[in-house]
Amino acid sequence: MGILIISPGRDLKRWTDALQAEDPSVPLLFPDQVQNPDKITFALAWDHPSGIFRNYPNLRCISSFGAGVDHLINDADIPPHIRFVRIIDPLLSNDMFEFTLAVVMKYLRKLSLYCRYQGKSTWKKHAYLRMADVCIGVMGTGVIGNHVATGLKKAGFRVCGWGRGPGRKTAYKRYHGRTQLRDFLSSSNILVNLLPLTSKTLGIINSNLLTSLPHGAYLVNLGRGAHVVEEDLIRAIDSGHVSGAHLDVFDPEPLPGHHPFWTHPGIDISPHVASLTDPGSVAPQVMENYYRNMQNKPLMNMVSRELEY
């Protein structure tokens, strides 16, 4: 009984406060506080030490701290009967939209360049792009991707999206499946990656994909670092075919200090901050899944272990 919390290196105070405020009667336990591992049936986890869940023989459900579940899917030690749930939260989706908008506007108005000029006291003007000059392609049209694409469209951009299957009707043109990927890419002057990381999407941003983008296209990676084949991206930027990239996610994280991305003039970096789960906003759904798991009821925001997201 209680929620086992595992997220090494994270300050968990806001999480424990939010969960306690939601239901003070539910014990919150860190691994070193668990006296009877047999009693643990529900865990909340991020970047857990591989193999740790073997210590809890009656575990039945693991909730991710965020939208992504690749850290759970990739742990072959977690038995198949354990159900995974993820966070779906309007605040998380909207923060992603706001970040995407900021990065796209920064690109159109060349703001990174002016930040660099400031460091050298350089006064130099450049022509800029307007919203009407570009079409933004959002790769991954799940809950977050769809919210981002719809928001960009409402903001006045031309937008298209790409997802796995035909899906629902959208406010923007949506392509699907491998057969329509090329058409989607050839329309995307700015490619925003919001795909989940799965065995099918690992390394999807490779030279094949990058050369299918229009000349001068810009990449915004907000999915996972392992979506990108790093040498292919650097080659595409150095050749001029891709004009640059904003990268928020890396493999591994933190990005090692000697990595060439840090100093590449065409690459802007942020430290995986595009959208951070807000503990107060998501504590109700974590607690609700804890109750449902106790009562063997269907869970909210279940992950398909077959689809890997």
Query: Interior CA angle at 106 toward 112 and 187, to 5°?
Result: 120
User: Quick check: is 224 catalytic?
Assistant: yes
Residue closer to ligand GLV by CB (options 67, 219) is 67
Residue closer to ligand GLV by CB (options 67, 138) is 67
For residue 211, the one-letter residue type is: T
Residue nearest ligand GLV, CB atom distance: 66
For the bound state, the minimum distance from the C-beta of residue 16 to ligand GLV, rounded and expressed in Å, comes to: 19
For the bound state, the minimum distance from the C-beta of residue 283 to ligand GLV, rounded and expressed in Å, comes to: 15
For the bound state, the minimum distance from the C-beta of residue 212 to ligand GLV, rounded and expressed in Å, comes to: 26
In which order are the strands placed within the sheet that holds 158-163?
173-176, 158-163, 135-139, 190-193, 217-221, 242-247, 267-269
User: At residue 281, what are phi and psi to the nearest 5 degrees?
Assistant: -75, -30
Note the Cα 37 to chain centre separation in Å: 31
Residue closer to ligand GLV by CB (options 67, 134) is 67
User: Quick check: is 116 catalytic?
Assistant: no
Q: Which of 109, 235, 264, 272 is catalytic?
A: 272
Residue closer to ligand GLV by CB (options 29, 143) is 143
Contact 97, 122 (CB under 8 A): no
Residue closer to ligand GLV by CB (options 5, 67) is 67
For the bound state, the minimum distance from the C-beta of residue 222 to ligand GLV, rounded and expressed in Å, comes to: 8
Q: Which of 224, 227, 246, 258 is catalytic?
A: 224
Distance CA 219, CA 224 (A): 13
For the bound state, the minimum distance from the C-beta of residue 79 to ligand GLV, rounded and expressed in Å, comes to: 23
Residues forming the site for ligand GLV (CB under 6 A):
66-68, 277
- Give the residue numbers annotated as catalytic, written as ranges: 224, 272
